Structure 1
Amino acid sequence: MESVKPSAVTPSMKLARNFAKVLHLRAFLKNVTIADANPKDETNMDHHKTVINWSESFNKVDEDEEIEEQRVATEALLAKLFASIATVKGAYAELQHFQSPFDPDGIEASDKLLVSELKHLSELKQCYLKKQVDPSPEKAILLAESKEIKGVIKTYEITAKKLESQVRLKDSEIMFLKEKLVEANSHNKLIEKRLNQSGSLSGLLENNKLHISGLSPSHFASVLRHAVKSIRNFVRLIVDEMRSAKWDIDAAVDAIEHNVVYIIEDHKCFAIESFVCKEMFDAFHFPNFNLPNESLPSDRKNQQNWFFQNFNELKSTKVKDFLAEKPRSLFAKFCRSKYLRLVHPKMETSFFGNMLHRNLLSGGEFPKSDFFASFAEMAKRVYLLHCLAFSFENQAEIFQVGKGCRFSDVYMESVNDEMFVFSDKTTTFDESEEETVVGFTVVPGFRIGKTILQCQVYLTKKKNQTKVKGSVKGSRSHLRSS
C-alpha cells in the first residue's frame, strides 16, 4: 500500500507557480480601466492616475490556488475511503462464502485482505488528522475509483455464487421430492391393485347393480377388513380415554387375558381389541343377533333376500341418519344392546363423569358425541358383515381358536408379524428360541363354503405350564366375553 507523504516543492514546480501568477496578473490588468483625462475638470486633472496594489493581487491568487488544492486533496481522501470500504465489504462477503463449504485457504486470503484494508483505513484517518495530502491527487482519485469498482464487483460475484448454490440446493430438493412422488404413486398403484383384486368396500358400496347371486368371498373379505379397521379406530379411542382417566391399563389388560407374555408394551392394545371383538361378534351366528322380540322370515330364501336388502339399505346411508330415521330398526336395537354390554357403567362414568350415554340409549335416543359416533360406525361395519354373512347361499360361519393352541397358517394369521396399528415397530417371534402358542384370538375367522378367512391371533411364548389343548371351533360357535 502506498504511503501518504507531505508534498515537496521542487525548483520546476516553483517556476511553474510563478508563471501562473504572471498569467493571473495579466488577466487582472485587463480589468483595470484608466479614466480619461478631462481638462475642464480641475478636480480630476491632477489625480488622473490608477494605483495598483501588487501585493494584494498576488495574495488573492495564492489563496485561490490553496482552496483548489484542498478541494482536490479532500476528493482524493474520500475516494480512497470509499474504495477501502468497498474492498472491506467484498472481503467480508468472500470470508462468509468460504465458510460453507469450508475452504481454509480462501478464508486465510480473505482475512488477510480484510486486515490490510482496516489498517489502510486507520492510516487514512491519521493522514486526515495530520493534514497530509497526496502529491498526485488526480491520479489517486482514478486509482481509488478503480479499486472501489473491483470491491463492488467482488461483492456481486459472491452474491451470485450464493444464489447459484441456493438454486442447486433447490434443484436437488426438487429431484428428491420428484423421486418420492414417483415412489408414492407406485406404492398407491400397488395398493389399488391389491384392493381391486380382493374387491374393495368402496367399489362394493358404489356398485348398486350387485346382485345377490354375484356375491363372492372376496366381497365378504373386503367388508371384514373395513370392519376390523373401524374396530381398531374405536379401540384407539378407548385407550386414549383410559390414559386420560388415569386407568391402570396393565391391570385392565390382565383382567381380559391372563398369563400372556407381550413382546412389547404396545401389544397390550391387542387384548383390548380382542375384548371389543368378542362383544361385537357375540351371537353373530344368530340371524337376529339373539335380540329378544325380533322375528325374521323363516324361509331360508326369503331370509337371504331380506338380509341382502338390509345390507344395500344400510351400506349407502350415514349411520346417524339411519338411526334418526329408524330408531326401532334391528340395527338400532343392535347398537343399543352392544353399547350397553361393551361400555360398562363404571367405564362410562370414569370417561365422562356421568352416564348420559346410557340414559339416552335406555330412553330410546342416541348420543351425539364423538365417542358414540365412533362406536356407531364400528357397529355399522359389524352389522353389514352380519347381513352379508346371511346373504350367502352357503352361510358364512364364524370361528375362533383356543388359548395355548399351536399356530396353523391354514386357520390363523399372526398380528405380531404385521405393521402394528398402535406402534411403528414391527416385531416377529424367533421360534427357534422358545415354542410359541396362541395367546388369544384377536379377530375371529370365517368359513364360507370351502373358503377360509383366517382369524387373527396374538402369539406368545409358551410358559412352563400345562398345555391347553385347543382346536378350531365349529361353525355357529358362541363367542363368549372374558
Structure 2
Amino acid sequence: MDSVKPSAVTPHKNKLARTIAKVLHLRAAATAGIAPVDAGIQKVGIQIVKATSGSGDKIKVKDDRNSHDDEEHEERMAMEALLAKLFASISTVKSSYAQLQFSQSPYDVDGIQAADRMVVSELKNLSELKRCYLKKQFDPSPETALIIAEIQEQKSLLKTYEITVKKLESQARLKDSEVIFLREKIEEANKQNKLFEKKLNQSGQLLCALDNLHLSGLSPSHFITVLRHAIRSIRSFVRIMIEEMKSANWDFNAAAYAIQPEVVYWREEHKVFAFESFASREMFDGFCYPNFVFSKEQSLTTKQRERFFSRFMELKSLKPKDCLSKKPRSGFANFCRLKYLKLIHPKMEVSFFGDQSYRNLIQNNGEFPIFSSSSSSSSSTFLASFFEMAKRVWLLHCLAFSFEPQASIFQARRGCRFSEVYMGSIAEEVFPLPENDTSFSSQESDSHVAFTVIPGFRIGKTVIQSKVYLSQILQ
C-alpha cells in the first residue's frame, strides 16, 4: 500500500492555520458554554465522578464555573489580540525599512517616500497600542482582531522576502556584468598578446630588452624569457608536424600512444602533449654538456662563460638561415644537423616529403635543405619551423652556460607524485578550464606524473618548474 505523504505546508501557513483554528475553537466553546481545553478541567471547577451500579457504569459531571472565569478568559483573549497587533506592526516596520534600503540603490524617490510614510504610520499605530494597553481599552472582538493581525504579519514577512529576492537578483546581475566585462578584458589582452607575438616572430628578433644585456647583469629572469620563446617555438613546430601527419593520413592516436604508451588522457586534445614531449626530449637531450657533447669538465672558466655569452648575443638577432650560411661548420650548424637526424625519422620524412633527399643533404653533403630551391611550400614551412626551434634551444643553451654556476636541467620521473615546487601542470596552462568545469583539475591532487613535456631548470637557488602531464592511471 502506498504511504500517504503529508502535503508541503509552509511554516507561516501552519501558524496562520493554527491561529484561526484556535479562535474558532474558543468561539465554539464560548457558545456552547464549555471552557476551553487548555484552561484545565480542574481550573474551571469541573468534577467528573464515576459511579458503579449493578446495571452498569454511570458518569456524573458537576460544573461549578462562575462568571469570574469568563472574565479571565476574555481578558486573556484581548491580551493575545493586542500582542498579535504589536508583532504585526513591528513586521510592517521591518518590511518598510527593507523597502527603504532597497530603494536607495538604484535611487527610487517614490519607493523611498512610500516606505517612509509606512514607517511613520506604523510608529503612530504602536503609540496607539501603548495607550490602549495602559488604559485597558481592548478590542471588543479579540478573535477577529487576532486573525487580522496574523494576516497582516504574514503579508509583511512576505513583502520582506520579496525585497530580499529582488536585492539578490540585482546583485547577481551586477556580478554577471562584471564577469562579462572581465572576459572582454581577457579577450582584448589575448588579442594584444597574439599581435605582439606575431610582430616578434616576423621581425626575427628575440627581445629588444636583451639588446643591452651584459654578462655581469645576467639574472634568472633573462633565462626565463628566453625559455618561454624556446617553448613557444617547440609548440609551433609540433603544430606544423601534426598538420603534416594528418595530411599524410597518419593514425594520430596510435602515434601518440607510441610516443607515450599506457597514458590515460583527460581530454582528446591533450594528446598533443605527447608530441611536444617527444620534440622537447630530443631537442634538450645533451643540454647539460657544452655544445651538447659529452664533456668531463665539471665547471667552466670565466673565459668560457664569456664565449658562450658572446655566442648568445651574436645569434639572438639573426635568422637561422643567415647563421647557417655564414658559419656552416659552427657549433650551431652541427647542433642543427644532429637534432634533425634524431628528431625527423626517415619514415616520417618519406611520408611528409616523398623521399629522403633532405636527410641525404644533411647527412652526406653537410648542406641544409632550408636553402634548397626545390623545396615545396609545405616542406619549406616545416623546415623553417624546425630551424627556428633549433636556434631558440641553442640560444637557451648558450645562456645557461653563461651563468656561474651554470644552469642545470632536470625532469620528473614517470609515476612520481606531483610537486608544486618542481612541477607545473601543462594541461591547466595550455587548456584553462571554465570556472564551473572541474573535469580533471579537481582530481589532480591524487594524480601522478605521466610524462614530462618541458624540463625544468635550476639557476643557483632559483628553480624553474618543469611542465608535466598528470594522469591517475599508470600501468
- 1:253 Cα deviation after fit: 1.4
Q: Distance in 1 between matches of 2:406 and 2:445?
A: 39
For the pair 1:437 / 2:441, whether they are aligned, the reply is: no
Query: Corresponding residue for 2:307?
Result: 306
For the pair 1:395 / 2:406, whether they are aligned, the reply is: yes
Query: Corresponding residue for 1:147?
Result: none
Secondary structure of 2:213's counterpart equals coil
Deviation digits for residues 1-31 of structure 1, max 9, x if unmatched?
xxxxxxxxxxxxxxxxxxxxxxxxxxxxxxx
For the pair 1:223 / 2:226, whether they are aligned, the reply is: yes
For the pair 1:378 / 2:389, whether they are aligned, the reply is: yes
Q: Closer, same or farther in 2 for the Cα pair 1:190/1:318, shift >3 Å?
A: closer
Q: Closer, same or farther in 2 for the Cα pair 1:303/1:250, shift >3 Å?
A: same
Summarize the alignment of residues 136-147 of structure 1 with structure 2, pairs less than 5 Å apart: none
- 1:182 Cα deviation after fit: 8.6
Summarize the alignment of residues 132-281 of structure 1 with structure 2, pairs less than 5 Å apart: 183=185, 187=189, 204-205=207-208, 207-281=210-284
Query: Corresponding residue for 2:328?
Result: 327
Q: Distance in 1 between matches of 2:388 and 2:340?
A: 12
Query: Corresponding residue for 2:24?
Result: none
For the pair 1:450 / 2:451, whether they are aligned, the reply is: no
For the pair 1:286 / 2:289, whether they are aligned, the reply is: yes
Aligned length: 275
Q: Closer, same or farther in 2 for the Cα pair 1:416/1:280, shift >3 Å?
A: same
- 1:426 Cα deviation after fit: 8.3
Q: Closer, same or farther in 2 for the Cα pair 1:251/1:206, shift >3 Å?
A: same
Query: Corresponding residue for 2:430?
Result: 419
Secondary structure of 2:291's counterpart equals coil
Structure 2 stretches of 5 or more lacking a match? 1-180, 198-203, 371-379
Which aligned segments of 4 or more residues in structure 1 are displaced greater than 6 angstroms?
179-182, 188-192, 294-298
- 1:341 Cα deviation after fit: 0.5
Equivalent position amino acid for 1:213 in 2: S
- 1:385 Cα deviation after fit: 0.2
Secondary structure of 2:468's counterpart equals strand
Deviation digits for residues 232-252 of structure 1, max 9, x if unmatched?
000011111111111112221
Q: Distance in 2 between matches of 1:455 and 1:227?
A: 14
Q: Closer, same or farther in 2 for the Cα pair 1:394/1:276, shift >3 Å?
A: same
Task: Say if 1:417 and 1:428, in contact at 8 Å, map to a contact too.
Answer: no
Task: Say if 1:419 and 1:426, in contact at 8 Å, map to a contact too.
Answer: no
Q: Which has the larger radius of gyration?
A: 1
Q: Distance in 1 between matches of 2:182 and 2:298?
A: 55
Q: Distance in 2 between matches of 1:372 and 1:190?
A: 28
- 1:187 Cα deviation after fit: 2.7
Task: Say if 1:274 and 1:442, in contact at 8 Å, map to a contact too.
Answer: yes
What TM-score, normalized to structure 2?
0.53
Equivalent position amino acid for 1:332 in 2: A
Query: Corresponding residue for 1:317?
Result: 318
Task: Say if 2:206 and 2:316, in contact at 8 Å, map to a contact too.
Answer: no
Secondary structure of 2:409's counterpart equals strand
Summarize the alignment of residues 113-132 of structure 1 with structure 2, pairs less than 5 Å apart: none
Deviation digits for residues 261-291 of structure 1, max 9, x if unmatched?
0011111110111011110000000012017
Task: Say if 1:288 and 1:295, in contact at 8 Å, map to a contact too.
Answer: no
Equivalent position amino acid for 2:368 in 1: F
Q: Closer, same or farther in 2 for the Cα pair 1:268/1:427, shift >3 Å?
A: farther
Q: Distance in 1 between matches of 2:317 and 2:453?
A: 28
Query: Corresponding residue for 2:368?
Result: 366
Q: Closer, same or farther in 2 for the Cα pair 1:311/1:462, shift >3 Å?
A: same
Q: Distance in 2 between matches of 1:295 and 1:328?
A: 23
- 1:255 Cα deviation after fit: 1.5
Q: Closer, same or farther in 2 for the Cα pair 1:433/1:411, shift >3 Å?
A: closer
- 1:378 Cα deviation after fit: 0.1
Equivalent position amino acid for 1:344 in 2: H
Secondary structure of 1:288's counterpart equals helix
What TM-score, normalized to structure 1?
0.52
Query: Corresponding residue for 1:336?
Result: 337
Q: Distance in 2 between matches of 1:434 and 1:307?
A: 41
The alignment's C-alpha RMSD in Å is 3.4
Equivalent position amino acid for 1:248 in 2: D
- 1:367 Cα deviation after fit: 1.0
Q: Distance in 1 between matches of 2:444 and 2:423?
A: 21
Query: Corresponding residue for 1:12?
Result: none
- 1:207 Cα deviation after fit: 3.9
